[in-house]
Structure 1
Amino acid sequence: MDKIIIDTAQFQRTISRISHQIIEKHASFDDVVLVGIKRRGAEIAEMLQKRIFELANINLPLMALDITFYRDDLNQANADPIYAGVDNPIPIENKKVILIDDVLFTGRTIRAALDALLDRGRASKIELVIFIDRGHRELPIRADYVGKNIPTSRSETIQVRTEHYDGINQVALLQ
């Protein structure tokens, strides 16, 4: 059974709030790069990029990062993985990277993304944006910007739905 916990209007307000927080935290955006983790993290990164432009007239470079081959559960998958590559590769050497994903759960996806980023160069700083933090960390990873904290049981699932993949921007709790 799906329970909508963030509707479309709340979703947009959350994007706007995170955008404001990013703008407030950075005195200069000369060396800032947005990196979204494919799939929905990359779409949220695009929304943040657009909203930051609307609010501050700053057009931040954006890269979508596929972390498929960096995952530590790759050998447990039943299907052959499909690597979609990096969209719009951007040099990150000595840049401030804002890494973006939809849900933070155990921390393993973020660990994989950090490995993928390190293979692309050494950033001067990496900040983390998470749309939904549901707890249950297995690794010591904490987000710098959080859309919403939603404590869950391990048997529940959080599904961030985005316009491109799902036809609507919302977050559902699946039980």
Structure 2
Amino acid sequence: MQQNTLIMDDKAMQRAIARISYEIIEHNKGVDNLCVIGILSRGVEIANRVAKKIFEVEGKVVPVGMLDITLFRDDREVKGHVDKSDITFPIKDKKVVLVDDVIYTGRSVRAAIDALMARGRPMRIELAVLVDRGHRELPIRADFVGKNLPTSRNEKVKVSVNQFDGEDKVEIIKED
């Protein structure tokens, strides 16, 4: 039997995204030369929300991109994959904030860094995640975290976003 535990509802997600956005602005002393790139798929929606909040606070549009890391994964062999990335601005010499929904082992982030570096050399790459669940296999940590959520390896963290799932929430799913 599956047991779901609600960790964040829509209001908690909004607060976490707002906090991440403020921290990004503060850490970068504004938003000049900054861009936000979300990792497909839910990372893109969170990146869009971060950019929207930054605009509300700073009154400046921050470019937002979408990064497909499939071809850079080290745990899957992929043939015939069409890259779905959409980054319409140069990242060379930019401060890039990479955004994902959950950080777990760090392997997706490593793949994302490789995918970014294949497109140019940013000035700096920072990482923002909605949920950090621990259990790293690589020495990677997020610069901006919405919620630290210690989990066991037999639990899953599911981030639902309105755009894909019809509602905003974060749950822990445990199989009994």
Q: Per the shorter chain, which TM-score range?
A: over 0.9
Q: Paired residue for 1:52?
A: 54
Normalised TM-score (structure 1): 0.94
Residue 84 of structure 1 deviates from its aligned partner by 4.7
Taking the aligned partners of 2:52 and 2:138, their CA distance within structure 1 comes to 31
> Contact 1:68–1:83 at 8 Å: present in 2 too?
no
Number of equivalences? 172
Alpha-carbon distance change, 143 to 3 in structure 1, aligned in 2, over 3 angstroms: same
Query: RMSD of the alignment, in Å?
Result: 1.4
Deviations 1:49-106 (A, max 9, x none): 111111121210010000011001113x8xx775452124321111110000000000
Q: Paired residue for 1:43?
A: 45
Q: Paired residue for 1:96?
A: 95
In the TM superposition, structure 1's runs of 4+ consecutive aligned residues that sit over 6 Å from their partners are: none
> Contact 2:71–2:81 at 8 Å: present in 1 too?
no
Alignment pair present for 1:155 and 2:150 = no
Q: Paired residue for 2:128?
A: 129
Q: Paired residue for 2:19?
A: 17
Question: What is the SS of the residue equivalent to 2:37?
Answer: strand
> Contact 2:5–2:171 at 8 Å: present in 1 too?
yes
Question: What is the SS of the residue equivalent to 2:141?
Answer: coil
Matches within 5 A, 1:40-119: 40-75=42-77, 82-119=81-118
Normalised TM-score (structure 2): 0.93
Structure 1's unaligned 5+ residue stretches are none
Taking the aligned partners of 1:83 and 1:153, their CA distance within structure 2 comes to 34
> Contact 2:9–2:168 at 8 Å: present in 1 too?
yes
Q: Paired residue for 2:33?
A: 31
